[in-house]
C-alpha cells in the first residue's frame, strides 16, 4: 500500500505489526473493515498515525476505491514483554 515503511530501532518494518483484518458486510452491501494491529505501546502513536493516513488515502483516492468500503477502523492491541 505505501512506498515507505516505518522502521523501529531493531529494523522491523511496520507491516510486521498487522494482526488481523476483519471484513463485514450486510444486505445493503455496506462494507466495513477493521484492521487490528499489534505493536509495543511506545511505538503505537506514530505507527497508527501513519497507518490511518495511509489507509484513508488508499481507500478514498487510491486502488482501494474499487472496494467501496463504507466504514474503516484501525485499532491497536499493545504487546507487552513478560518479565520473569
C-alpha cell at 80: 507487552
| HSE toward the beta carbon, residue 76, CA cutoff 13 A | 19
C-alpha cell at 11: 529494523
What pLDDT, on the 0 to 100 scale, is given for residue 1?
39
Mean pLDDT over residues 72-77, rounded? 86
Label the pairing between strands 31-40 and 71-79.
Answer: parallel
Domain ranges of the chain: 14-79
C-alpha cell at 46: 506514530
What pLDDT, on the 0 to 100 scale, is given for residue 82?
54
With 90 as the cut, is the pLDDT of residue 2 above it? no
Prediction pTM value = 0.64
pLDDT, tens only, 12-40: 444 456 678 899 999 999 999 998 888 77
Give the list of residues 6+ apart from residue 40 with CB closer than 8 angstroms, or none.
Answer: 8, 78, 79
Amino acid at each position: 500500500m505505501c512506498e515507505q515503511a516505518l522502521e523501529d530501532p531493531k529494523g522491523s518494518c511496520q507491516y510486521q505489526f498487522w494482526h488481523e483484518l476483519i471484513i463485514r458486510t450486510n444486505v445493503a452491501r455496506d462494507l466495513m473493515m477493521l484492521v487490528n494491529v499489534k505493536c509495543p505501546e511506545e511505538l503505537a502513536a506514530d505507527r497508527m498515525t501513519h497507518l490511518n493516513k495511509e489507509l484513508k488515502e488508499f481507500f478514498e483516492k487510491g486502488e482501494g476505491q474499487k472496494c467501496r468500503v463504507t466504514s474503516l477502523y484501525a485499532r491497536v492491541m499493545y504487546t507487552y514483554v513478560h518479565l520473569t
